[in-house]
Structure 1
Amino acid sequence: MAVRPVMVNVKALDHAAVGRFWAQALGWSAYSPGATTYVGPPGGLVWPDPVAVGIDVVPVPEPRAAVKNRVHLDLASTSAAHQAELVARLRALGATPVDVGQGDVPWTVLADPEGNEFCVLEPREVYRDTGPVAAVVVDCAHPRAMARFWGEALDWTLREVTDDSAVFRSAKGVGPYLEFIRTGDAKTVPDRVHLDLLPGPGDDLSAEVARLRTLGATDLDVGQGDVPWTCLTDPEGHEFCVLAPPS
């Protein structure tokens, strides 16, 4: 039994507009299968995607708090020229430069139209085959503790763990990385961006949730009511949802 990341869940006042931005940013398509806007690879809606981690933009009435998100996307580039072209194109789509204290770094920090931060990375060999999303990055206090919890929770492989980071990727070596990066910032508000996870084929949702609780996950009530998914937090309080397997 294990779960895998299938979506990055982004809360937005205007889910359709934010979904269009991310679809254009990644060269993907925006789909509206229900009350949310799902962004995934082009060619028709396939869910769960066998490789990509999609983006599900969910409408909420509350504006974003004026604090840095603790989960963000890193976008890949293939050359210095591609990085510059990508930054220019994203700014034309409505992205804005953001200073999160990064200083003089070779990557560019931007925010989507509702202020959600993301990075456009300089070319890095490790991300040469990820697709447009290089990594989903999570700020944390203790990467080794995150490695222990998420290493048991996920069916992804722990590629590296140090005092500063824990890095996971699909056991098939495809798609983006999931990286827990040590920061000095404390969690002060609910996450605007979080992971949605899916049990494996044939696994039972209730049994998988119970297993995650034994690993250290905690139940979370965000007013979701009677829904077919379960909201939890990891040992550092990062929210995530475990979705019902597709019927």
Structure 2
Amino acid sequence: MTSSLFALCIDATSPPRLARFWSAFLGRESADDPDGGGIVLPPADDTGFRIRFLPTDQPKTSQNRAHFDLTSTSPEGQRQTVARALELGARHTDVGQLPEEGHVVLADPEGNEFCVIEAGNNFLAGCGFIGALAGDGTQAVGYFWSKALGWPLVWDQDEETAIQSPHGGSKFTWGGPPLMPRSGRDRVRFDLAPPADGDLHAEVERLLALGATRLDTPGTGTVGVTLADPDGNEFRVLPPVAKSGGAASTRDLGSGA
């Protein structure tokens, strides 16, 4: 069996502040993250995914390779979403968007970019408020993540790709080359989790065979195994953890996508 997407991880110099923003904005409750020392927002249903805010002492210095595309059902709804984000601490930001484009580009309190998409976007119809995690990436990386997660390709044209969980929910999209330059560690990245009865070593070997590369070495003290996808984006495979009568770890909060 393939790994599931355990969480989307976002580094933050102040995880509580960033979690407060996204908790209020998305309408999700937050919880302490004992595994990572940060804060987690569990998914609202089985089409969602956890969002983990993990501590870092490195400030954000460049545009993220991945960002949320948030959907709107009407022009007034788009305006209300933008206004609510600004009230909670977001700001307008310029990533090269054109004046005639209908989406609004904002940044959260730590500068992580996200877009509020105009109403009438058929590609994101039915995907929920977080319509997509839109990434900068090659066709090869879209193929990799489709096989890694077992999610079907729902778009594959002109080197642009998109995948979506069989349960529905947010699409993950990659816009094709050229890739933006990388500056330091990716602040937005995936944590994967094998099934509770799975084998970490076997899953790592499967991902390596699909085109991943290993970034850490055994015995470094890192929880799980850190890999990079074919575009060099860091991600981590966590050890399988089964629920056991006591308090659940963050890997047992919610269902994941």
Same-fold status (TM-score > 0.5): yes
- State the SS of the aligned residue for 1:212: helix
1:61 to 50, 57, 60: 57
In structure 2, the residue matched to 1:30 is: 30
Alignment gaps of 5+ in structure 1: 43-48
5 Å matches for 1:159-178?
Answer: 159-172=154-167, 174-178=168-172
Query: 2:91 maps to which residue?
Result: 96
Tell me which residue corresponds to 1:45: none
Asked whether the 8 Å contact 1:4–1:156 carries over to 2, the reply is no
SS of equivalent residue, structure 2 residue 136? strand
Alpha carbons of structure 1 residues 234 and 12: separation in structure 2 relative to 1, 3 Å: same
Residue aligning to 2:122: 125
Counterpart for residue 103 of structure 2: 107
Q: 4-13 or 79-88: which moved more?
A: 4-13
CA distance in 2: counterparts of 1:122 and 1:98, whole angstroms: 17
1:187 aligns to 2:189 (yes or no): no
Higher relative contact order (CA 8 A, sep 6+): 2
How far the C-alpha of 1:183 sits from its partner, in A, is 4.7
Counterpart-to-counterpart distance in 1, 2:195 and 2:128:
23
The partner residue of 1:212 within 198, 207, 212 is: 207
Q: Which amino acid in the other structure matches residue 169 of structure 2?
A: G
RMSD, aligned α-carbons? 1.9
**How far apart, CA to CA, are the structure 2 residues paired with 1:38 and 1:52?**
13
**What are the ranges of 5 or more consecutive residues in structure 2 without an aligned counterpart?**
243-257
What aligned pairs does 1:133-144 form with structure 2 within 5 A after superposition? 133-140=130-137, 142-143=138-139
Does the Cα contact within 8 Å between 1:2 and 1:153 map onto a contact in 2? yes
Assess if the C-alpha contact under 8 Å between 1:138 and 1:179 holds in 2.
Answer: yes
TM-score normalised by structure 1 residue count:
0.88
Structure 1 residue matching 2:181: 3-state secondary structure: coil
Q: Which residue of 1 aligns with 2:41?
A: 39
User: Counterparts of 2:5 and 2:175 in 1: how far apart (Å)?
Assistant: 17
Count of paired positions: 236
C-alpha deviation, 1:177, in angstroms = 0.6
Please point out which of 227, 233, 238 is paired with 2:222: 227
Q: Give 4+ residue runs of structure 1 displaced > 4 Å after superposition.
A: none
Q: Does the 8 A contact of 1:78 with 1:128 survive in 2?
A: no
Give distance in 2, aligned partners of 1:114 and 1:186: 20
How many Å separate the matches in 2 of 1:190 and 1:74? 22
Q: Deviations over 1:44-76 (max 9, x none)?
A: xxxxx63212210001111112x1110111112
Amino acid at match of 2:128: G
Q: Secondary structure at the match of 1:182?
A: coil
Which residue of the partner structure matches residue 198 of structure 1?
193
